[in-house]
A = this chain, B = another copy of it.
Amino acid sequence: MPEPQIATIDVRRQFHAYPEPSWCEFYTTSRLVDYVESLGVDEVFVGDETLDVDERLGVPDESTLEHWYDNAAAMGARSDVLESTAGGNTGLVAVVERGPGPVVGLRVDIDALPFEEASDSSHTPAADDFRSENTGVMHACGHDGHMAIGLGVLETLMHEEFSGTLKVFFQPAEEVLGGGRAMAATRHTADLDAFFAVHLGLGHPTGEIVGGSDRPLALRQSRATFHGESAHAGFAPNEGRNAMQAMSTAIHNLYGIPRHEDDLTRVNVGRARAGAASNVVADSATIDLEVRAGTNDVLDYMLSHVDRMLEAAACMHDCSVSTTTIGRAPRVDSDGVLSELVADVASRHPGVSSVKRHAPFGASEDTTYFMRRVLENGGNATYVIVGTDHPSGHHTPRFDIDERSLEIGRVVLSDAIFRVLTGERAQDDDL
């Protein structure tokens, strides 16, 4: 095997320096296309070729899209990629076709988060000069590393012999739970026999591999806008229909949805924007909220409460309300077959010191749309966690990874996928 083109640590650092928010991964997509083309994959699908555009959730407003689009262009993003991704249709699918045989998918996510990265020297990306160049945006969840692993697996397997097909899905907008549904709904997932998703960290240390993460929380994120009528708060408060009060009533009551006997529930109103000035009765109020649940049925229970409560809160203050879904993911558990396979492969790897066949996931992930589709079609699917020491929690300004885990991830996933592609699974009696 020649010196690999994809040095995972370097690749990760390059992506780390230029993070882009969900649905705005224009420059990221362009760079990824460069990489996969240089590797010589058989087919590359870009942007609107990879998404059921109408199924996208959480797409930001025009001006945000435009800002990042222009930024990518100024950074030198390829014009063909910009064309395919315009309007927030980011992401790509790289395909290696080697004749008949198993069709295997690997999904990595590519978006970053909307906060400012730490800048002091105790934060490695700052000290080693690959801190975010994009003010107010940061790869604070490891997706930079996921892309590096995805590219590394691609290169590794392209040097191997097998009959079958490998597809690597570079999915946009995972952080808003907005891209999984749109990418999983396309023809690219229709023929998958096996599916792997990967995540770094999540509290697992470097050297630990989880073969299949389970029990992600089913989730729906919504944006609700209460429409009232403004009035002068001093002269004629009676002439208003107070969207602020409707909003406050909604917030208060949403947190009070009864717990469910069957499984855990979560509710949060995480963002609110209402009214304009202290002396005007607010005619508009918008909240972003989410509910999660341990099962899809319990999520439905939560949703029926949420939808009724939003209407009731509007009615309470003679307002109306309009609601849109901005993120969604079902609960789908990893398949025993593939998680066992990964665990087995991992246990043979020298860099792996701890293997868990299963571990609870705890949060939500929209790769479950891929998993659900594959399982419904009779395939297998697993969500692999590659442990990495992280000095600070995910989604914090000081999040970082232990870069040694990138190679571990690359090798374990390459091996596992290779075994599926070559059918070694069946012959392996210790599985």
Give me the interface of A with B, judged by CB distance under 8 Å.
114-115, 217, 219, 221-223, 232-240, 242, 244-245, 247-249, 251-253, 255-256, 258-262, 264-282, 285, 288-290, 292, 301, 305, 308-309, 311-313, 315-318, 326-327, 362-364, 393-395
For A238, the chain B residues whose CB sits under 8 A away are: 258-262, 301
Contact call B274/A234, Cβ cutoff below 8 A:
no
- How far, in whole Å, are A233 and B255 apart by their CA atoms in the complex? 12
Contact call B268/A279, Cβ cutoff below 8 A:
yes
Which of B235, B244, B326, B395 is A363 in contact with, Cβ under 8 Å? B235
CB distance from A133 to the nearest CB of B (A): 21
User: In chain B, what residue has the closest Cβ to A244?
Assistant: B269
User: In chain B, what residue has the closest Cβ to A220?
Assistant: B278
Which of B247, B249, B262, B327 is A253 in contact with, Cβ under 8 Å? B249
User: In chain B, what residue has the closest Cβ to A273?
Assistant: B273
Contacts A223-B278, A249-B252, A271-B278 given; 11 further ones with Cβ under 8 A? Answer: A232-B393, A235-B261, A237-B258, A237-B268, A248-B248, A261-B362, A270-B278, A270-B281, A271-B277, A277-B288, A312-B315
Contact call B266/A237, Cβ cutoff below 8 A:
yes
- How far, in whole Å, are A285 and B362 apart by their CA atoms in the complex? 27
Contact call B253/A268, Cβ cutoff below 8 A:
no
For A318, the chain B residues whose CB sits under 8 A away are: 305, 308
- How far, in whole Å, are A288 and B267 apart by their CA atoms in the complex? 25
For A256, the chain B residues whose CB sits under 8 A away are: 245, 252, 255-256
Instruction: Decide if the interface of chain A is mainly helix, strand, loop or mixed.
Output: mixed
Contact call B259/A237, Cβ cutoff below 8 A:
yes
CB distance from A79 to the nearest CB of B (A): 32
- How far, in whole Å, are A235 and B308 apart by their CA atoms in the complex? 24
- How far, in whole Å, are A363 and B267 apart by their CA atoms in the complex? 23
For A245, the chain B residues whose CB sits under 8 A away are: 251-253, 255-256
Contact call B275/A274, Cβ cutoff below 8 A:
no
With A114-B276, A269-B278 known as contacts, the answer to whether A236 contacts B251 (CB < 8 A) is no
- How far, in whole Å, are A222 and B279 apart by their CA atoms in the complex? 11
Contact call A289/B278, Cβ cutoff below 8 A:
yes
For A219, the chain B residues whose CB sits under 8 A away are: 234
- How far, in whole Å, are A251 and B316 apart by their CA atoms in the complex? 12
For A311, the chain B residues whose CB sits under 8 A away are: 315
For A221, the chain B residues whose CB sits under 8 A away are: 278-279
CB distance from A293 to the nearest CB of B (A): 10
Q: Which of A242, A244, A258, A315 gathers most chain B CB within 10 Å?
A: A258
Contact call A270/B258, Cβ cutoff below 8 A:
no
Contact call A232/B315, Cβ cutoff below 8 A:
no
User: In chain B, what residue has the closest Cβ to A234?
Assistant: B363
With A256-B256, A289-B278 known as contacts, the answer to whether A217 contacts B234 (CB < 8 A) is yes
For A288, the chain B residues whose CB sits under 8 A away are: 275, 277-278
User: In chain B, what residue has the closest Cβ to A294?
Assistant: B264
- How far, in whole Å, are A269 and B277 apart by their CA atoms in the complex? 8
Contact call B309/A316, Cβ cutoff below 8 A:
yes
For A248, the chain B residues whose CB sits under 8 A away are: 247-248, 251-252, 269
Contact call A270/B259, Cβ cutoff below 8 A:
no
Contact call A290/B285, Cβ cutoff below 8 A:
no
- How far, in whole Å, are A301 and B258 apart by their CA atoms in the complex? 18
For A279, the chain B residues whose CB sits under 8 A away are: 221, 268, 270, 290
For A312, the chain B residues whose CB sits under 8 A away are: 312-313, 315-316
Contact call A234/B292, Cβ cutoff below 8 A:
yes
With A238-B258, A245-B253, A256-B245 known as contacts, the answer to whether A270 contacts B264 (CB < 8 A) is no
CB distance from A256 to the nearest CB of B (A): 3
